[in-house]
Amino acid sequence: FFFIFTPFIAKYRYMYSARQVLLNKDDSNEALIQSRNMAFSGSLVHSGDGEVVVCHIGMNTEIGHIVTLTKEADTVMTPMRRELQRFITIISAIAICLGTIFFIISVATGKGAMTSLVFAIGIIVANVPEGLLPTVTMALTMASKRMSKNNALVKNLESVETLGSTTVICTDKTGTLTQNRISVHRIVTPNKVFAFGSGDAVPGSEIKHLRRIMALNNNATLNSSGGYSGDSTEAALLTCVRDMEDIEDLSGFTRISEKPFSSATKYMITVCSKADGSFEAYLKGAPEIVLSKCDKMRISGETVEMGDEGREWFRTTLTSMAGRGERCLGLAYRAVDVADEIEEEEYIFKGIVGMLDPPRPEVPEALLKVKGAGVRVFMLTGDFGLTAR
């Protein structure tokens, strides 16, 4: 089913693509796939209730269109299939030509037409490689068996040979080249660097606002068994906050509104009420995006104008951290007067969080083998360019 939500439930959160989004009746788009006030079959209601209008059912839904496309997809000719067809065409042409030639010679030498025809058919059949199919199948099966010993499951036998024709490999980074065990490595502010993982405790009181941004601008949750639910990057931030000393009680803060993170905006904003009744907005996202929304910065407990000197410090620090392979996030905050309005300008820049995801130990050897086989490797990632390198 394909649903459209009425304005009544636009204020509630709904789960879509395993991420919370805020629905708005005005968030429509000519391309239905980009309309945030629509939901697809399989969407999970996170909270709230409301009325829905069924727009399409069955194969007329967006999911149905995807199913139709998969059914209409053309079968791709594998390199082995192309070579076999070419080989069979050549052998068949040679066999037919030889059969025809020997038929003509046989008739010309006075043999009967029927005898000559039987002789020509025998010539043609004799040239057909009857053992080709079982030989190819056996070779591919043996190759699949060897690959299974290396934990590679082969569904289609022809794909075994296709691997031998590979010239380019495109691979994801997180969880593939890395261990997907991201953790906060350090936090850099304009006047101090806080290192984590070195064994030295970092007092939470010294980075009160940073810790507050990391905890309150966050949708991940930690459980008692050491696991988490939500985004791994946000879980790393939350783990860092939990491991600090002298962490002040955050129970007095209540989230009022939120602008969720998206790949298009590259930032997330939350507005929270404090125990004294005032409101603060917390900004987290790509460092360059966060910087563009800040006009001030916090240095040694004082708020000063960003200025050219501050922006130069930012560029130098970001380049240095990204050059070490750290995934960077910018953090900022500001006071707000109206809780329902999410401000996007005039933030106070607090610092940059650098996180590391250690590479898998077997990756270097695997890359050397792949390059030795003449295969080029490309890494696909949404990280900052220097971090990826």
**Catalytic positions, please?**
172
Q: Which of 22, 75, 64 is nearest to 40 (CA)?
A: 64
| Strand ranges inside the chain, DSSP E | 2-5, 13-16, 19-22, 38-39, 44-45, 52-56, 168-172, 183-189, 192-195, 221-222, 228-229, 254-259, 267-273, 279-285, 294-299, 302-305, 327-336, 347-356, 376-380
- Name the CA radius of gyration of the chain, rounded: 32
Task: Check: CB of residue 69 under 8 Å from CB of residue 26.
Answer: no
For residue 172, is it left (φ>0), alpha (ψ between -120 and 50) or beta?
beta
- Please state, in angstroms and as integers, the Cα–Cα distance from residue 234 to each residue in 41, 73, 126, 217, 329, following that order: 28, 38, 69, 9, 11
Phi-psi region of 266 (alpha: psi -120 to 50; beta: other; left: phi over 0): left
Q: Which residues contact 310 (CB under 8 A, 6 or more apart)?
A: 190, 297, 304, 349
Q: How remote is the C-alpha of 48 from its chain's centroid?
A: 29
For residue 160, the SS3 value is helix
